[in-house]
Chain A
Amino acid sequence: KQEVTQIPAALSVPEGENLVLNCSFTDSAIYNLQWFRQDPGKGLTSLLLIQSSQREQTSGRLNASLDKSSGRSTLYIAASQPGDSATYLCAVYNQGGKLIFGQGTELSVKP
């Protein structure tokens, strides 16, 4: 059974810092992997999708990497801003097309 774990559970950084969020999954036979952002009490905003054949994806200040063999993905945020404060969720697709989510990393960027 696929399990997705995110470390750390919470992170507080000063504005301007670069940071890395970690995601690990137990079954390396995954399909796509997706990173989401969730603001308190709100829905899921897709940030980046890494297809199973890819190793990384970039969008603006965000870069996500995928290492299937080691069961890991990272989300790198450059030059963090207070507006980046949110919970970041990692999720992997299984064969049936459903997503299995991690518990998220709650990020706080202090001005």
Chain B
Amino acid sequence: EPEVTQTPSHQVTQMGQEVILRCVPISNHLYFYWYRQILGQKVEFLVSFYNNEISEKSEIFDDQFSVERPDGSNFTLKIRSTKLEDSAMYFCASSVVRAVTGANVLTFGAGSRLTVL
């Protein structure tokens, strides 16, 4: 069964450093998403991406965050200058169409755990 692949599985970084989290969505999927989950809290939407541009972003997704699809297969989330409060599990997801009706769903990756010291 096709999978969404995320790397790294765990990254430890110092506050102020740049971090890039990588995702390989399912090959025929067109809609891409990043979510995050701070330990003990809800899974929160960060951003959605379609046709090489952001289609929606949350209040959390400020100027420190950016997303890119650099080469047609990878989908990356960059945090420019990490803060302690960026420590969380980051989940990538993809769907073949906008997952609102029918049997279309988001397929999630296993997550990348980011620890900011």
Q: Residues of A at under 8 Å CB distance from B?
A: 31-32, 34, 41-44, 46, 49, 51-52, 89, 91, 93-104
Contact = CB atoms under 8 A, between A and B. Distances in A.
Given A93-B99, A97-B48, A42 B110 contact: yes
Contact of B113 (A41, A95, A96): A41
Contacts of A44: 43, 91, 108, 111
For chain A, what secondary structure do more than half of its interface residues adopt (helix, strand, loop), or is it mixed?
loop
B91 A32 contact: no
B33 A101 contact: no
A4 to B, nearest CB: 8
Contact of A43 (B41, B101, B102, B110): B110
A96 B106 CA distance: 12
Nearest to B55: A96
Nearest to A98: B45
Nearest to B106: A99
Interface string B25-65: 00000010101000001111100100000011000000000
Nearest to A89: B43
Contacts of B103: 49, 51
B43 A91 contact: yes
A51 B48 contact: no
Contacts of A99: 35, 43, 45, 93, 106
Interface in B62-78: none
Given A31-B101, A43-B110, A97 B31 contact: yes
Residue from B31, B56, B101, B109 having most chain A Cβ neighbours under 10 A: B101
28 contacts: A31-B100, A31-B101, A32-B99, A32-B100, A32-B105, A34-B105, A42-B111, A43-B108, A43-B109, A43-B111, A46-B105, A46-B107, A49-B103, A51-B101, A52-B101, A93-B99, A95-B100, A96-B48, A96-B55, A96-B98, A97-B98, A97-B100, A99-B35, A99-B43, A99-B93, A99-B106, A100-B45, A103-B41
